[in-house]
């Protein structure tokens, strides 16, 4: 469909042409295995080294602290399990603190660790989706080894006060006379936010390339020097022993190119997306006053509008939007198949009849005002049609 409208940039973004161009030689003539000894291999190795330097500089750290992975999910699993198992082995403790609105890659990693004797506490969020740093400080225990709070939420775009949370954790760690590691899932933050690891005060940070114009199936994990970390993948010594397996050179090159461009264009991106976000929110409020915008009004990503239409079935709305040529998401792309109310919205105390009628629209700099207007033209009628639909799972 030529005139279709894509409003699901939080689910994934198209590969940037600059990243694709940079990747192409590594699918072709530069195919060498970076671990080998001849010149063809050295080319691939150099490309990885350059990419690692680029990513390290953007995060305000050194290349040794950067690991390339197969995506956000792998980075998160490696971070959570890697720190937890290292600290369990060292008999430091087995308590993990995270928030109730994290991505399932974090929540399910914590649940997995519970099978190995770990305990997880979930920090509550307010109606605005924010974690209170004081709540984090209060929830820390003598045996807490890891705190993991996301930089920005994938469903609502709410931006968490990571620096304040990390400072509260550091203070508590000082009083205990040991480290408590702080990790942040920054997967949704790379287009709009400065991600300097020292300013954020984090020991580990996870990124996913396909959220910022890089290739799908590629990601980054930052691990601060000296942080306890037990690699979760065994094999060769690639990625400084942190992630065994022959490197995906093309994906690594594409990741670095896309991340650099995303970070360079951060301010212009935020400005442009904010204008589109405001246009959409104003249009919805004018046409459908019963609609509820979810998440803190200022502390949110500039490209996200998460909106609930009471008593409307999101699956019906998505189908009708698709028929109108508009791609959007219900809550989170990750739980589209089973329309169970989103754990993020429930944690924010959004009532069930609003939660199941929630849509997420996410824009980018390539979104046109006219596309927002076309959405606003069709949305009121679609919401009306979806209100009469029934059968939404409440589990
Ligand atoms: C906040 C957040 N964390 C983690 C992930 C998982 O990343 P990936 O798709 O690269 O596995 C996503 C993707 O939806 C996300 O939005």
pLDDT tens for each residue of 360-376: 999 999 999 999 999 99
When pLDDT is averaged across residues 217-242 and rounded to a whole number, the result is: 96
Cα 153 to middle of ligand 1, angstroms: 10
Active site residue 334: yes
User: Is 235 or 391 the better-scoring residue by pLDDT?
Assistant: 235
DSSP of 202-269: -SEEEEEGGGTTS-SS-EEEEE-TT-----S--SS-TGGGTS-S---HHHHHHHHHHHHHHHHTHHHH
User: What's the gap between Cα 140 and its chain centre?
Assistant: 24
CB of residue 187 inside a 6 A radius of ligand 1: yes
**pLDDT band, residue 1 (cuts 50/70/90):** very low
> What's the whole-number mean pLDDT along residues 58-76?
98
- Please name the helix (run of DSSP H) or strand (run of DSSP E) that holds residue 84, with its range, or none: helix 72-89
Q: Are 93 and 258 in contact (CB under 8 A)?
A: no
Cβ of residue 219 lying under 6 Å from some atom of ligand 1:
yes
Question: Within the chain, which residue ranges are assigned CATH 3.40.640.10?
Answer: 17-264
In 3-state terms, the chain is what percent helix, strand and coil (to 5)? 45, 15, 40
Residue 3 has pLDDT above 90, yes or no: no
Does residue 208 line the site of ligand 1, with CB under 6 A? yes
Q: Whose CA is nearest to atom 14 of ligand 1?
A: 11
Residue in the block written with tokens 């072709």: 28
Find all residues with CB under 8 Å of 158, minimum gap 6, and list them: 101, 125, 128, 129, 130, 152, 295, 296, 299, 300
Is the per-residue pLDDT at 278 higher than 50?
yes
Domain spanning 5-13+266-387 has what CATH number?
3.90.1150.10
Cβ of residue 160 lying under 6 Å from some atom of ligand 1? no
Residue 28's pLDDT band, with cuts at 50, 70 and 90, is very high
The reported pLDDT for the residue numbered 13 is 98
Mean pLDDT of the chain: 95
| Cα distance between residue 110 and residue 105, in whole Å | 9
Q: Express as a percent the part of the chain with pLDDT over 90.
A: 94
Smallest CA-to-CA distance from 206 within 187, 190, 224, 192 is with 187
d(CA 301, CA 377): 24
Q: How far apart are CA 128 and CA 126, in angstroms?
A: 5
Residue in 15, 24, 334, 378 annotated catalytic: 334
Asked whether 47 lines ligand 1 (CB < 6 A), one says no
Give the pLDDT score at 337. 59
- At 340 the pLDDT is 84
Q: 378: which 2 tokens?
A: 């069709």
Query: Model confidence over 243-270: pLDDT tens digits?
Result: 999 999 999 999 999 999 999 999 999 9
Q: 99 with 160: CB under 8 angstroms?
A: yes
- Percent of the chain clearing pLDDT 70 (strictly above): 96
The pLDDT assigned to 134 comes to 94
Pocket flag, ligand 1, residue 157 (CB < 6 Å): no
* Amino acid 388: pLDDT: 80
pLDDT of residue 158: 98
**Tokens 């649940």 found at:** 111
Establish whether residue 150 lines the binding site of ligand 1, counting it when its CB lies within 6 angstroms of any ligand atom: yes
d(CA 387, ligand 1 centre) in Å:
31
For a ligand 1 pocket test, name from 68, 76, 103 the mutation site with the most ligand atoms within 8 angstroms of its C-beta.
103
Where exactly does CATH 3.90.1150.10 map onto the chain? Answer: 5-13+266-387
For residue 192, is pLDDT > 60?
yes
Distance (Å) of CA 115 to CA 108, 109, 132, 140: 11, 10, 29, 21
pLDDT tens-digit readout, 330-340: 975 444 556 78
Nearest ligand 1 atom to alpha carbon 152: 1
Q: How confident is the model at residue 206 (pLDDT cuts 50, 70, 90)?
A: very high
The response to whether residue 159 sits with its C-beta less than 6 Å from ligand 1 reads no
Report the atom number in ligand 1 closest to the C-alpha of 153.
1
How many angstroms does the Cα of residue 208 sit away from the middle of ligand 1?
7
Q: The domain at 17-264 falls in which architecture?
A: 3-Layer(aba) Sandwich (3.40)
Pocket test for ligand 1, best of 76, 110, 211 (most atoms within 8 A of CB): 211
């Amino acid at each position: 469909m030529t005139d279709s409208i894509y409003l699901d940039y939080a689910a994934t973004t198209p590969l940037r042409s600059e990243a694709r161009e940079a990747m192409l030689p590594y699918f072709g003539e530069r195919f060498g295995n970076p671990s080998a000894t001849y010149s063809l291999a050295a080319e691939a190795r150099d490309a990885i080294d350059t990419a690692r330097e680029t990513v390290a500089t953007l995060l305000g750290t050194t290349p040794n602290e950067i690991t390339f992975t197969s995506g956000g999910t792998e980075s998160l699993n490696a971070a959570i399990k890697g720190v937890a198992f290292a600290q369990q082995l060292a008999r430091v403790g087995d308590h993990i603190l995270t928030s109730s609105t994290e991505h399932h890659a974090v929540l399910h990693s914590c649940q997995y660790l519970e099978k190995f004797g770990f305990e997880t506490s979930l920090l509550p969020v307010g109606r605005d989706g924010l974690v209170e740093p004081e709540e984090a400080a209060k929830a820390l225990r003598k045996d807490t080894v890891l705190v993991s709070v996301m930089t920005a939420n994938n469903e609502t775009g709410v931006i968490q006060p990571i620096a304040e949370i990390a400072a509260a954790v550091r203070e508590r760690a000082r009083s205990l006379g040991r480290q408590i590691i702080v990790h942040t899932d920054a997967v949704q933050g790379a287009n709009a936010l400065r991600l300097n690891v020292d300013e954020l005060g984090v020991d580990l940070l996870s990124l996913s390339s396909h959220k910022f114009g890089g290739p799908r199936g590629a990601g980054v994990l930052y691990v601060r020097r000296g942080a306890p970390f037990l690699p979760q993948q065994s094999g060769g010594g690639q990625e400084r022993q942190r992630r065994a397996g022959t490197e995906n050179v093309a994906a690594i090159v594409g990741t670095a190119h896309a991340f650099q461009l995303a970070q360079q264009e951060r301010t212009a991106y935020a400005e442009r997306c904010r204008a589109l976000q405001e246009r959409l929110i104003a249009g919805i409020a004018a046409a459908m006053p019963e609609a509820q915008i979810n998440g803190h009004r200022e502390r949110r990503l500039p490209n996200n509008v998460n909106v609930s239409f009471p008593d409307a079935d999101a699956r019906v709305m998505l189908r009708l939007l698709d028929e109108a040529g508009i791609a959007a998401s219900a809550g989170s792309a990750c739980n589209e198949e089973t329309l169970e109310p989103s754990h993020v919205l429930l944690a924010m105390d959004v009532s069930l009849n609003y939660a199941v009628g929630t849509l997420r629209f996410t824009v980018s700099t390539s979104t046109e005002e006219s596309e927002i207007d076309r959405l606003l033209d069709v949305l009121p009628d679609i919401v009306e049609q979806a209100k009469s639909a029934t059968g939404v799972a409440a589990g």
